[in-house]
Every structure is written in C-alpha cells, then in structure tokens.
Amino acid sequence: MSNAQGACALPHLGVIHAQGVDAANFLHNQLSNDFLLLPPDQARLAAFCNAKGRMQASFIGFKTSPEDVWLVLRQDLLAQTLKRLRMFVLRAKVVLNDVSEKYEVRGLLGSAVPASFAAAPCYLYMQDTAWTVRLYPAQTHGRALQIVPVGTALSVPALPLQDWMLSEVLSGVADVQAATFEAFVPQMLNYESVGGVNFQKGCYPGQEVVARSQFRGTLKRRAYPASSTAALQAGEEVFSASDPSQPSGIIAQTCHHTVHGHWALVCLQNSALEETAGALRTAQGANLGLHALPYTLRDDI
C-alpha cells in the first residue's frame, strides 16, 4: 500500500443509535459479543445472526454513556437490520434509530490515526463530538473508524476511497453486506480470532450453532486474503480445479484498486487451501492467489 495515509468518507456505512436504560442489555442479548460489560474506552466487533447462526449483519459497536450504544454497519443492510432488531425490543426500555443522516463514518489510515491510541484493536478514543475506533491494521498501516457529525471538516489529508477499501481486505476482517447476507457463521469470517465472538456470554440468536462450530470441530471454512487476475464481486462462488462442479468457497469482500489490482477476502473450505497455485477461480474464470492472514487463527476449532 506504499505510503497511503489520510481520511475519507465511507458512504457504504451507516449508524444505528440504541438509547435507553436497557440499550446495552438488549444488544447483549441479540449480538455475538458482550455489550453489557463493554468499558467506555473500548469498542466491539459483533455479529447479528439468525437462529441457524448465519450472519445477517456485522457491527462495530461502542458506548458513549451507560444508556447510549452506537452501531456501525453496512448501509445496504441497515434498514432491514433495524427492523428486525426492533421486533425483539418488546418491553425493553430502548429506542433504536437510524442516525446516518446526522453522523458520517470516515476511515482513517496511517498517520491520520491518533497517536494516543492503545496498541490493541477496537480501542475507542473520544474527543469533542468525534468518536474514533482503532481497527486491525493493514500491513504496517494503522486503521481507524471515525464517527463525526455530518458537515465536519477533514483535518487530515484526503484519502482515496480505493485505498481504504484495499486496507479493509488486507486487514483480514470482513463485514457482512447485502450480497453475503446469511452466507456465513461468524467463524467462517474468522470472527472468533479477531474478537467478534464472546463464548462466555449468555444466549443470543444462533448462539448454540456458533458454540457448536467452535468446540465440536464442525467448522470447515475460513477466510483469507486473495489477489486476482480480474475484477471480483462479493457473493461470487469460488471453485477449485480438483472439483470444478462444487463451489469451494465464496467471496466475502472485494477491492478494485487502480495501482494494486483486484483483491478480496475469500471464505474457503479448508481442503481448498491445499490446492496448487492457479487452481482456484471464480465461475467467470478469474484466477485467485491466496495470501497469509495478518493475524493468528485460534487453534481450538
């Protein structure tokens, strides 16, 4: 990524605000991570699953007070996710609203990430009306999300959106979008290895399936960065030369960069990792080359 640095708006992301005395407890009971005991200086990666453990959305979430929780997610899933969350409110004292028209999500890369950040990902930094969350790095580049009121001026150099999208893939952490709705259980995107699943918390939709995948060795797919000879699309199936009739995986997230080419995060069957170079390709014939993850996978699968 050379010397990519700066900040840019991320129009593909939106914001949900959960407000009320039961806000943290409500989300704790719906998502794959612990929001009840979430400290004020941290953020959480989390999944929202159906009863079969399939991810319907993914979030970066944080608190700004005991009664205010904010969730950042893909804009193309926001409306339906908000509708489904509201179905479970019942008597809980919480109000959920789409506040994307009031708050803009930005990506910070390289020197634009506050120097005062802790080293660990998902550290929350608050200053005035800006909330900044440190994310997993991309190669040697620090990364962060920033949520600011719409109209806030940039105080750092402008970053091309394609640089940010490439950093998303190189970080090894995919989100869920409309094209991959209900395509994965959290571990298929390595969420248990990057802090997106808490196995000690209580029940949430799909919790039994997620726990069974973790502790009974039933998970047979993982996500890896990949480069390609041609453009890719999220949701495309991937095939191997040894078994071209059955898909070996699915593309979770993509980037098309004018300098660095075509990249993706690909969820693959473990058996496909043993394929020789050039043996993986999409149905449209694009070849895929796998690359190492920038973090270590948990070994208790």
pLDDT number for residue 12: 98
What does the block give as tokens for 140?
A: 């040697």
Domain count, the chain: 2
* Owning domain of residue 249: 178-290
Residue 98 lies in a domain: yes
Residue 169 lies in a domain: no
Boundary-marking domain end, from 126, 159, 192:
159
Q: Are residues 188 and 103 in the same domain?
A: no
Boundary-marking domain end, from 159, 188, 213:
159
The CATH number assigned to the domain holding 80 equals 3.30.70.1400
As a whole number of angstroms, the distance between CA 31 and CA 203 comes to 9
Residue 165 lies in a domain: no
pLDDT number for residue 301: 47
Q: How many of the other CB atoms lie within 10 Å of CB of 259?
A: 11
pLDDT number for residue 285: 87
As a whole number of angstroms, the distance between CA 238 and CA 246 comes to 9
Q: Are residues 26 and 152 in the same domain?
A: yes
Residue 2 lies in a domain: no
Q: If residue 81 lies in a helix (H) or strand (E), which one and from where to where?
A: helix 75-87
As a whole number of angstroms, the distance between CA 138 and CA 2 comes to 11
pLDDT number for residue 279: 86
pLDDT number for residue 127: 85
Q: Are residues 230 and 124 in the same domain?
A: no
As a whole number of angstroms, the distance between CA 195 and CA 173 comes to 10
Q: Are residues 204 and 92 in the same domain?
A: no
Residue 27 lies in a domain: yes
Q: Are residues 149 and 195 in the same domain?
A: no
Q: Are residues 192 and 246 in the same domain?
A: yes
Q: Are residues 125 and 186 in the same domain?
A: no
Q: What ranges in 96-246 are assigned the alpha helix state H?
A: 161-171, 207-215
As a whole number of angstroms, the distance between CA 187 and CA 155 comes to 37
pLDDT averaged per 10 residues, the chain (length 301) = 88 98 96 94 96 96 95 98 96 97 97 88 89 94 96 94 97 98 96 93 87 69 94 95 87 96 95 73 90 86 47
What does the buried/exposed string (b/e) look like for 116-146 if buried means 16 or more CB atoms within 10 Å of the residue's CB? ebeeebbbbbeeeeebbbbbbbbeebbbbbb
pLDDT number for residue 94: 98
Q: Are residues 134 and 185 in the same domain?
A: no
33: buried, middle or exposed (CB in 10 Å: 19+, 13-18, 0-12)? buried
Sheet with 124-127, strands from edge to edge, namely 6-9, 103-109, 141-149, 130-138, 124-127
pLDDT number for residue 278: 61
